Amino acid sequence: MRVSTSGAYTSGLSAMQRLQAALDQTQRQISSGRRILTPSDDPLASARALQIRESIGRLEQFDRNANVASNRLAQEEASLGSVNNVLQRVRELALQANNATQTNESRQLIAIEMRQSLDQLVQIANQKDGNGSYLFSGNLDSTTPVTRMGAAFSYNGDQGQRYIQIGEGRQVTDGDSGAAVFFNIRNGNGSFSTSAASSNSGSAILGPGSVTDPSAWDQDQYTLRFIDPANYEVLDSAAAVVSTGTFQDGDTLAFRGIEFSLSGQPQAGDEFTVSPSRYQDVFSMVDQLATALETGSTDPASQAMVNNGINAGLQNIDQAIGNILDVRIQVGSRLAAIENQVDSNGAFKLNYQDTLASIEDLDYAEALSRLSLEVTTLEAAQQSFVRTQSLSLFNYF
């Protein structure tokens, strides 16, 4: 077999280049701390690492989504807290005005503060978040939620809720519509409401009512009419008499699974209406309560009308406060769910990062040993190459 000088040179040079490339690869691994520098280094591991990085990226996006939802819900919770404080103040004012020692003038002053509270409620309902979007307009976040025209209040948003994904297969709503918070409130005691006819000439005052037998309460509208100060009859919506009874001051009247108290002295022809609770907005509730205070009284009959208006308003305000509490509980539950999901995302992310490190990170002990071996091998190859190239047949002549 013939070995040419150029062939031996090329073979030696190629060997040194391979050794140098391996040495460079090891040095780059050590400097970067990564075992896999290009996909060709380990195709299967590279594909697995890519999948893990995508999973980590999704978790990071979920955390960003959670932060957006959490900020918006925190602002809503603060707004609902302000609404609750305003309604509690309105309730205190109503109780103050319901005192027999109050005069028409003092009630007028209380009504002024109450209307200021009403303006504050409208302002809170039209509050914006940090991005300039309305908090309580549903999906129509660029539309002013509540507008007022006289004593009428309108909701201009929708009842939609935005769902934000905060984890694999888990979503959370980032707010509540103004309809759910401010407009869909059952008046009265939540089951039925009572009211006195404006033409009543007696001094009877309605007290709180309740449902004693839900199976007997048929959601019809009833009119309690006094035949004389001591006797009454109850008529349904078809004007049919369904019950009769006698009355004394402070009695509790009961029929069709409901009951309510009545104090004072009614007169013949006085009427009181019992109607199923209907949805009403909190703004109208406060407005009607202020109007009742502004009416004024000049005799026992008109005083009873004021007291009945205040009592009805107090029941409505209690319902509004209860509704705000329910919404706040829901908001708190969502905030807790977000916090738990963020913790869960963090645990998954840490696990993915550990797995990724086991795939990509370099074993420094093994790499340094390999580097030492490759350096020694390369140096030996270089010395061998030099010696080989210095050989010649002429040396043997």
Residue 224 contacts by C-beta under 8 Å, 6 or more apart in sequence?
232, 233, 234, 253, 271, 272, 273, 274
Tokens for 166, please give them.
């905060």
pLDDT of residue 130: 84
Q: What are phi and psi of 154, to 5 degrees?
A: -120, 145
The residue type at 327: V
- Asked whether 229 and 247 are in contact (CB, 8 A), the reply is yes
pLDDT of residue 13: 62
Quote the pTM value: 0.81
pLDDT of residue 280: 95
Residue 335 contacts by C-beta under 8 Å, 6 or more apart in sequence?
70, 73, 74, 77
Tokens for 64, please give them.
């960003």
Average pLDDT over residues 97-124: 94
- Cα 24 to its chain centre, rounded Å, is 56
Strand order in the sheet with 271-276: 192-196, 271-276, 222-228, 231-235, 241-246
Q: How far is CA 289 from CA 108, 109, 189, 190, 376, in A?
A: 12, 13, 16, 17, 95
How do 192-196 and 163-167 pair as beta strands? unpaired
pLDDT band at 387 (very low <50, low <70, confident <90, very high): low
Q: Considering only CA atoms, which of 392, 394, 396, 378 is closest in space to residue 12?
A: 378
Tokens for 340, please give them.
């738990």
Q: Which of 160-164, 210-214, 248-252, 386-390 has the lowest mean pLDDT?
A: 386-390
pLDDT, tens digit, for every residue of 20-53? 655 565 666 666 666 666 665 667 766 787 888 8
The burial of 293, by beta-carbon neighbours within 10 Å (0-12 exposed, 13-18 middle, 19 or more buried), is given as buried
Residue 2 has pLDDT above 60, yes or no: no
- Asked whether 71 and 133 are in contact (CB, 8 A), the reply is no
pLDDT band at 188 (very low <50, low <70, confident <90, very high): very high
- Total residues found in the chain within this entry: 397
Q: Which residue has the higher pLDDT, 372 or 140?
A: 140
pLDDT, tens digit, for every residue of 325-374? 999 999 999 999 999 999 999 999 998 888 877 776 565 566 556 656 66
Average pLDDT over residues 74-84: 96
Q: Which residue has the higher pLDDT, 89 or 382?
A: 89
Residue 379 has pLDDT above 90, yes or no: no
